[in-house]
Amino acid sequence: MSRAYSGVERRAVSSTCPDTLPASESGPGTSSKSRLQGTRVESWFLRGLLTVCTAAICYALRPFHLGAAASAGLGVLTAAIILLAELRLRWAALGGLLGGAFGAVLGLFAAVLVTLIISRTAEPEPAKSFLECAVLVAFAYLGLVVGSKKARDLHLERIGEGALSRTAAPPAAMLQEALKLLDTSVLIDGRIADICEAQFLDGTLIVPEFVLHELQLVADSSDVLKRQRGRRGLDVLERIRKMPRVEVRILENAPSSQAGDVDHKLIELARHIGAKIVTNDFNLNKVATVQGLSVLNVNQLANALKPVVLPGEPMRVSILREGKEANQGVAYLDDGTMVVVDGAKRFINKSVDITVTSVHQTTAGKMIFGRVDSESSGTMARQAAAGAGRSDTSERGTERSPLDRGTRAIYPETDAD
């Protein structure tokens, strides 16, 4: 048998034993605090550098014919406005930023078109300058506000998060989707080997150690039937393990192997590693489905692969035994589906053509009801009559005629002496 699934073991150890982390991660609080303090110092240094630069530029250029002190104060005020805008934009959502930027660009483009029209009017220059500036500011503001609002309604940040989650999906999560946990019942049943041989199961097949232990207990049972079932399960597991395109791993030291029965352990382990349960157990299937786990039931697969039969279709079956009702016969298809045929009691151990009358789906499977075809019934009756006639003729042919009896000697021969 191959060794345990190492990825699952590492995950279990990391989740249950946090003290085994490396030394570099033993003090996350200290390292995070130091990084946070360094980031804050750098931020305030950049903000102070921005304030000094804007004040120096305004002091050197002296805009609006202001004095030295007034120009420096104007530079500090400009830096304060920029820092306030930075704080506001920091808490803005991604969709709001993208929508606001797009809306502001559209607003400026529309304002340029309006200013081209204003420049061709006969208004005085001061009025034209005022209208152009007002249009630029108004259209840019309206585009920024409307674009930010509409983008928040569209939730553009979710589109970005979905794209990032699709591109940055870890390989481990993709591997966990292909894990299959084998139950004891499906190994004893044996059909899972044929399914694996037909390559209808992909991914890694995991057999927990407690399932293997249960198989061993069944194989060591004093009951002959249980012992045969357990050995069959072990043989099926060995057969699957020898298949070249199927990977089977025995999971040792499972995280949930310390409490509960086998079904409870399988459910807990499937939830822990994100695997699907492969089973034939009806109750385990229901409990796992209620808890939101994925279950692959071999019985459901077999029922789904049964041929579809519609009322009125002809069918040829072999009647094996008598049915419960009067004059009924019972036959079975190759997949085990029971066929109840009315009027087929006299055709036991014979093949007969029937017509399907109805199909019923039950919890145990599918049942087909039919009746014997009239042509088939007449043919069978004629064959039976012909067989009876031939037997009577042969019996009559073996009898001696009266003439033959008359040629016999009346007196018996006597001995010569």
Q: Express each pLDDT in 277-312 by its tens digit.
A: 999 888 888 998 898 888 998 888 877 777 778 888
Residue 157: is it exposed, middle or buried by C-beta count within 10 angstroms (0-12/13-18/19+)? middle
Mean pLDDT of 91-116: 80
Pairing assessment for the beta strands 351-362 and 179-182 based on DSSP bridges: unpaired
> What value does the mean pLDDT of the chain take?
75
Using only C-alpha atoms, the chain has a radius of gyration, in whole angstroms, of 45
Cβ-contact 219, 234 below 8 angstroms: yes
Q: How far apart are CA 386 and CA 121, in angstroms?
A: 117
| Class at the top of the CATH hierarchy for domain 314-385 | mainly beta
Global pTM reads 0.43
Q: Show the tokens assigned to 247.
A: 């990977």
Is residue 235 scored above 90 in pLDDT?
yes
pLDDT level of residue 159 (50, 70, 90 thresholds): low
Phi, psi for 292 (deg, rounded to 5): 85, 15
Mean pLDDT of 53-70: 84
More confident site: 306 or 364: 306
* Burial readout 88-100 (b: 16 or more C-beta within 10 A, e: otherwise): eeeeeebbbbbbb
Mean pLDDT of 145-167: 57
Q: Is 118 helix (H, G, I), strand (E, B) or coil?
A: helix
Number of H helices, E strands in the chain: 16, 11
More confident site: 211 or 93: 211
The domain locations on the chain are 46-91, 93-161, 172-304, 314-385
Give me the pLDDT at residue 409, please: 44
Residue appearing with tokens 């699907």: 276
Q: How far apart are CA 178 and CA 202, in angstroms?
A: 7
Helical (H) or strand (E) element with 341: strand 338-342
What percent of the chain is modeled with pLDDT above 70? Answer: 70
The sign of the torsion formed by the CA atoms of 34, 36, 39, 44 equals negative
Q: Which fold has domain 172-304?
A: Rossmann fold (3.40.50)
| Amino acid sitting at position 269 | L
Mean pLDDT of 320-343: 87
* CB proximity list for 156: less than 8 A, separation 6 or greater: 94, 95, 98, 99
Residue appearing with tokens 């031939």: 390
Measured in whole angstroms, the distance separating CA 391 from the mean position of its chain's CA atoms is 66
Mean pLDDT of 105-119: 86
